[in-house]
Structure 1
C-alpha cells in the first residue's frame, strides 16, 4: 500500500513513516523539506500519484490566529482537491480532542476549520482527535510561567504519549475509513496543575505550580472537561509514570 504522510518530517510523521515502512508499506514523507507544500500546492499532485491513503499530521508554522486559520483551512482544501484527482481512498488527519469546546483558542478554532474542510471533500476520511502529547507538558509549563511561578488550570487533563499516537494512527491508516472522528487519550486523567507539578518534580524543576482557574490554555478558557474525551475513546498503553521515568532518563 502506498501511504503519503503529510508532515512526514515532524515528530509524529517521521515515526509514522518508519512504522509503516517496517510493516512493508510504501510510506513516503511529504513536507516542505521534501518539496511538498500543501499551502501553495507545490509538489502535491506528484507526491500523491498512486497513493492509497494520505495521512495529514502537519503543524502550522505560525500560531498567530489568522495565520494558523489560513494554514489549516487552505492546506486541507488543497489536499482534498489533490486527493480526488489522484483517486486516494482514505484521508486520515490528526486533530485535537475538544476542538469545538474552546472557541477562544485560535489553534483549536483553526483545527475545527480543518475538520470542516476534510468533511466537505469527497474523500472517505477518519479524523483522529488526540489529547495533548505528554511530550508537550514541559512546554505547557514554560508557556504558563509568570515571575518564576507556573499558573495553570485545574481542568482535567489526560495526556497521551507520542508513541501511542503513532501506533494508533498506523492502525487507523490501514483500516477502513470511519467517515467520522475517533478520540484517543492516555490512561491517566488528573487536573492539569497536578500533572504539570508531577512532571516538574520528576525533572528536578523547582518551579512552584499554582492552580489558577482563570489561567488560559494557549489563550483559551479551560472548563473542567475542555481537554478530555467526553465519550468513548481509544486509550493508549503508556501510563504517565512510565513515560516520566523514560523522559527523566533522557
Structure 2
C-alpha cells in the first residue's frame, strides 16, 4: 500500500516512514525538500498518484497567529483537494489534545480549523490527538524564559509523550481502516508542568531556575488545569517515561 507522509522528513514523519516500510508498505516522504509543497500545491498531484493513504504530520514554520492559521487552512485545503482527485481513501492527521478547549490560543485555533476542514471533506479520515513531545521540552523552556535567567512555568497538569510512540500510533493508524473520528495519545506519567521542567532542567544541567507562576503563558495564554492533558481514561498511554527517554537521548 502506498502511503504518502506529508512532513515525512521531520521528527515524527521520518519515524513513521521507517515503521511503515518495515511493515511492507511503500511509504513516501513528502516535504518542500523533496519537491512537495502543500502551501503552493507544487508536486502534490505527482506524489499522490497511486496513493491509498495520506498522513499529514507537517507543521507551520511560524507560530504567529495569522501565519499559522494560513498555513494549516491553505495546506490542508490543497492537500484534501489533491487527494479527492487522486482517489485517496484515508487521510490521517496529527494534531494536539484539547485544541477545541482554547480557541483564544492562535495555534490551537489553527489546528481546530484544520480539523474541521478534514471532517468536512469526503475523504475518510483519522485524527490523532497527542500531548506535547519530550523532544520539544527545551524549546518550551526557552520560549518560557524569553532570554531571561528564570523559566516561569504554570503548575498545571502536564503529560508529555515520546515522539517515537507518537510515530508508532500514526503509522498504525495509517495502516488501518479510517476511524472517521479521533483518538488521543499521551505519555505514561502525569505531573505538574513546573515540576516537570524543574526536574528536566536539572537533568539537562541547565542552571536556570524554574519559577512557579500560575499566570505564566504557554502559546501566548494562561493555561487552565487540564488544558494540556486528556480526560481520565480517554487516551491511549505510551510506555516510555521521561527518565527512560533521557537515558536514550542524553542531554548534549
- 1:151 is paired with a residue whose SS is strand
Question: Which residue is equivalent to 2:195?
Answer: 194
Q: Deviations over 1:219-247 (max 9, x none)?
A: 02200000000151011121122112223
Whether the 8 Å CA contact 1:155–1:192 is kept in 2: the answer is yes
Question: Gaps spanning 5+ residues in structure 2: where?
Answer: none
Question: Which residue is equivalent to 2:220?
Answer: 219
Question: Which residue is equivalent to 2:19?
Answer: 19
- 1:50 is paired with a residue whose SS is coil
Q: TM-score, normalised by structure 2?
A: 0.96
| Deviation (angstroms), 1:148 | 0.3
Is the alpha carbon distance of 1:133 and 1:173 closer, same or farther for their aligned partners in structure 2, counting shifts above 3 Å?
same
Question: Which residue is equivalent to 1:169?
Answer: 170
Question: Which residue is equivalent to 2:40?
Answer: 40
Question: Which residue is equivalent to 2:77?
Answer: 77
Question: Which residue is equivalent to 2:29?
Answer: 29
Whether the 8 Å CA contact 2:161–2:188 is kept in 1: the answer is yes
Whether the 8 Å CA contact 1:77–1:121 is kept in 2: the answer is no
CA distance in 1, matches of 2:221, 2:185: 21
Alignment of 1:102-181 (within 5 A): 102-145=102-145, 147-181=148-182
| Deviation (angstroms), 1:140 | 1.0
CA distance in 1, matches of 2:120, 2:104: 24
Question: Which residue is equivalent to 1:246?
Answer: 248
CA distance in 1, matches of 2:93, 2:142: 28
Choose 231-240 or 122-131, whichever is displaced more.
231-240
Question: Which residue is equivalent to 1:236?
Answer: 238
Number of aligned pairs?
250
Whether the 8 Å CA contact 1:199–1:244 is kept in 2: the answer is no
Q: Deviations over 1:26-83 (max 9, x none)?
A: 0001111111111111110111011010000001011111111011011111111111
- 1:29 is paired with a residue whose SS is strand
